[in-house]
Structures are given as structure tokens and as C-alpha cells.
Structure 1
């Protein structure tokens, strides 16, 4: 058995459990409903209305990704099926890679199809469509989904119980979506006993450390084809690209090392 076979099995299990259909339908309904609410209450342009809807979805997609991926390996461990998987001609590295690819596809494909299916409804709602802006919103949401799926599977490999995995992922989610935004100001206040009117570069940099912020900076630079070379070094887009890359790679490395060295219990 190879990592490709493990990935195919994960995708097939997702299809059989109707996760594909539920996710696809959910993203169609939620995206349209959120866009409709924006249209009813504020009469925005297509970019503003859909952008607001995707902004809300960028908060929900990571939660869905975590729920879809957290049991990828720890669930196999607790059910005892991990013994069976590792008795086949597959090593732990291939198992981890297969689970990452399988769970990522199980989220990526229904999100992509769902967001494509909602386009005609958005066209009817706004009387027009902006392909470039929509593609930018879609890329950012898909990138978020991939990142948190990788994080979920990596933590699932690193820890030995579902409760610990969920606790760790919840703590990580709260940190990157809330704590990092105030951490810089808190450190500054601790040092100076005041909050700066104009934040120094290092405070602004801390606020760009959440992976979704780093991804948004990179995608925006790619779409506008404008790179802030005159901005402070820490606030340039290539630094954001490095931050996002580290958020992807470091959890996988830690998860693999802990998984490789752990006993199968």
C-alpha cells in the first residue's frame, strides 16, 4: 500500500459518508445566504458583498477543516485500526502523507465545486460578476482550508487521544485568530505602560503572523502584482510567504517526528 492508496481510501470514505455532498451544499447555501444578507441590508457592490461573505467564510473554513482532519490518525489509533494499517507495506511517513492528501482533497474538492456552483446565483443577485475578485477570494479560502487541514492531520499524528488533539487545535485556532492580534500591543504596553498611537514595525509584524493574514498578504500581492519593496523588511510580502510556508511545514515535521517515535497503543 502506498500513500496514494491511503489518500484514495480517505476520499472514498468521505464520499460514502456523504461528507462531500454536505460540504458542497453547505458552502453553496452559506455563501449565497451571506451575500444575500449583505445585499439586503447594505446594497453593496459585487466585490464588497461577496468579499464580506468570503470574509465570514474564511473564519468558518478553518473550523470545518479542523473537524474534518483532527481524527485522521488519532482516530485510527484509538479504534485499533492503526495496527492493521501499519501491518501493511506502508511506513508512517507514507501514512501521514496519505492522510494529509486525502483529508485535503476531501475538503478542497467540495469547497471548490460549491463555490463554483454558487456563481450563477451571485450573478442573478448582483446583476454581474467579477471573475478576478472572485478568484482571489476563492484562492484565499482554499488556502486557509488546506493549511488547517494540514495542521489538523499533523496534530492528530503527534498526540495520542482525540481530546488532546481537539484541545491543541482549539488553542491554536484561538491564538492565531485572536491572541496574536493583541500580543504586540500587550508586549508594548508591558514595556512602555502605554499603547502606541502609531504601532512600531515589530508590533505590526506580530499582527501579520496568523497564517490567514500571511496568506491574504501573499494572494493580494499576486493579484495586484504590487510588492511593497519600500515597506519595512518585516512587512514585505516575501516575509508573509515565508511565514505561511513555515505554518505548513513545521507542524508536519513535528507531527511526523512524534508519530515516528510513538508506540502504537
Structure 2
């Protein structure tokens, strides 16, 4: 009997030690517990409400929409006469949120994991117990919820002002912009949290956020210009293949995908007839990577791929 108890205790102790080792040094087999993910996300979201981050963002998006609506109402008599006020609002707000949402998402995700590691509080989180995957996914969902719900609050409150000032309101276009803005924000939040998980230094993480922004808003276009310059100078072959590569590369930019995907759910963003004709003359038809459904796939990929890589790596690093 005593032998049976001893042999039973042995494996239990080993399992406990293995679990402790997994928490300290990382384990490729750590599982995902939905309840733990939800708990981490809920705490993250509540903390943002206490710090007024959520309310500040809600006011910001409300003000953005109201200000844009006011501009259209005051200066856009021709637009109003044509009954295209909501389309104009969507197009103008899209141009602004394409730049602003990434900035907000990168700031929200900056200290998501790096801050916890730098302060040592990550070890407290992992002892509750939450696995590393739970913490990473919970942080992503919590930060994404802050951005998403603030967008919803801002858009819903501003809708009343939009109707009052513009006199007409297309809820499909307006709602489509909101949905795609949330997805766009989730993509950048995923990138930000993934980058934050790569380091235990908030300084390095902050530099990474700046690097991400510079990559997509400066270097990406610069690379395209360099690509075209090399082609014009004869260092790259001219022709359909080169043009296809350039256009495909451009379509991978999250901001470009956000702009292109609007035509999937709104009346804004469709390729004009002249552009369609040019593409058909060049390639025989509009390439799949310039179509709105592919832009949606690109946004989904920017959500899934960064956090998937982070989940794999974060499980294997020393804290």
C-alpha cells in the first residue's frame, strides 16, 4: 500500500515541478484556457477604464466624426445637393483613421507585455495561474476591446449629430466604416502586442512601435518608389510581371488593405472606370490582389500571423 502511495506521489510531484519549470522557463505545450484569457482581458479592459484611456478615445472618435461632419455640412453644398454626404464622410474619415488608428493601437500595445515583464508583474500573472498563451491572448483581446468599444461609442454618439447636420444618413456605409475600422485596429493591435512580447524593455518595445509605424508609412512607399526607379533605370525588367509584383507588394500594406476593403461593405472605395480599364488593358482583368475581398484577407492575415508568431515565441523565452 505504501509503495502504491509513494509511486502515486512521485508522478504528481514531477508534474508539479514540470509545471513550475514551464512557468519560469517557458513550455512549448502550455495550453490555452478560455476562462484565463477572459480574466486577463477583463482586467486589462477595466484598467483602461479606470485610467480614462477608454473614455478619452471615445471622445476623440466622437470629435473626429462630428468635426468632419461639420466640415462637410459647411463647405460641402455640392456634395449635399448630390445626396452623397455619407459617402463623403466615410471617405474623409477613412483617410484620417488610416493614420490615427495605427498610432492608437501601437500606443495601446506598447507596454502590453513588455511593461509586465519589465516590472516583474508578469510572474504574478503566470502564478494565478495563467499560461503564457492566456496572458498574451488576454492582453490582445483587452487592448483590442479598448480600441473597438471606444470606436463603437464614438460612432454611435456621433451618428445623432451626423443625421442632424447632414440631413441624410446611410447606415450601411456608416456601419461598414465602423466594422472595417475595428478590424483594422485589431490588425495593428495584434502587431503591437506581438512586438511588445519580444522584449522585456519598454524602451525597446517603444522603439519597435516607432519602427512599425515608419515601416508602413514611410519605408513601404519608399521601397515602391525605389522599385519603380530601378525599373525605369533598366536595373529591373519592365513588363507585366514586374508591375504585378509591385502592385501585389503595395496591396500587403495594412493601410492600403483598409482603404481597399471599404468597397466590400460601403459604396466608397470602388476602383473608378478609368483604373479598371487600365488594369484590364495591362493584365486582361483586375488582378485578384486589388479586389476588396483580398484586402479583407490581408487584414485578417495581419491579425492572425503576428499573434501566432508571438504565441510560438513567447512560450519559449526566459522572462
TM-score by length of 2: 0.74
Match of 1:93 in 2: 133
SS of 1:158's partner is coil
Structure 1 unmatched ranges of 5 or more: none
Cα gap change, 1:230 to 1:237, in 2 (>3 Å): farther
Match of 2:299 in 1: 244
User: Is the aligned partner of 1:218 residue 2:241?
Assistant: no
Match of 2:121 among 81, 88, 94: 81
**Number of positions where the alignment pairs a residue of Structure 1 with one of Structure 2:** 263
Structure 1 residue 96: Cα displacement: 0.5
Match of 1:206 in 2: 249
The list of structure 1 runs, each at least 4 consecutive aligned residues, that deviate by more than 4 angstroms after superposition, is 226-229
User: Is the aligned partner of 1:70 residue 2:110?
Assistant: yes
Match of 1:13 in 2: 47
Match of 1:173 among 202, 206, 213: 213
Match of 1:122 in 2: 162
Cα gap change, 1:146 to 1:233, in 2 (>3 Å): closer
User: Is the aligned partner of 1:149 residue 2:192?
Assistant: no
Match of 1:253 in 2: 308
Cα gap change, 1:57 to 1:234, in 2 (>3 Å): closer
Contact 2:187–2:300 (CA under 8 A) maintained in structure 1 = no
Tell me which moved more, 248-257 or 122-131.
248-257
User: Is the aligned partner of 1:108 residue 2:148?
Assistant: yes
Structure 1 residue 143: Cα displacement: 1.6
SS of 1:159's partner is coil
Structure 2 unmatched ranges of 5 or more: 1-34, 277-283
Cα gap change, 1:22 to 1:236, in 2 (>3 Å): closer
- Please give the root-mean-square deviation of Cα atoms over the aligned residues, in Å: 2.8
SS of 1:263's partner is coil
SS of 1:49's partner is helix
Structure 1 residue 223: Cα displacement: 4.4
Structure 1 residue 152: Cα displacement: 1.2
Structure 1 residue 182: Cα displacement: 4.0
Structure 1 residue 218: Cα displacement: 3.4
Structure 1 residue 222: Cα displacement: 4.5
Cα offsets for 1:18-53 (capped at 9, x unmatched): 222211112111221133234334443412134213
Contact 1:72–1:153 (CA under 8 A) maintained in structure 2 = yes
Cα gap change, 1:234 to 1:126, in 2 (>3 Å): closer
Tell me which moved more, 253-262 or 58-67.
253-262
SS of 2:99's partner is helix
